[in-house]
Amino acid sequence: MTDMLKKVRFALRQAVFSDIFEEPVGELLLKNQRVRLIVFDHRTEDIIQWVP
């Protein structure tokens, strides 16, 4: 199960990403690479950011 979780990425709308990851706890998660994300523009469906 642990190996499977290492491969999971969460897709977030750009606005949601900004709301969560501009907060101190969100910045800490990004800094410590605790989450893997794909940030997208919901209107164009373009990927804005890929967080490894």
Instruction: Provide the residue ranges of all domains of the chain, joining segments of one domain with +.
Output: 2-51
Give the pLDDT confidence of 16-51 residue by residue, as tens digits. 999 999 999 989 988 888 788 999 999 999 999 998
Structure-token pair, residue 3: 């190996």
| pLDDT given for residue 7 in this prediction | 75
What confidence category does residue 4 fall into, taking pLDDT thresholds of 50, 70 and 90? low
Query: Residue 51, exposed/middle/buried by CB under 10 A (0-12, 13-18, 19+)?
Result: middle
pTM: 0.75
| pLDDT given for residue 6 in this prediction | 65
Query: Residue 5 carries which side chain, given as an amino acid letter?
Result: L
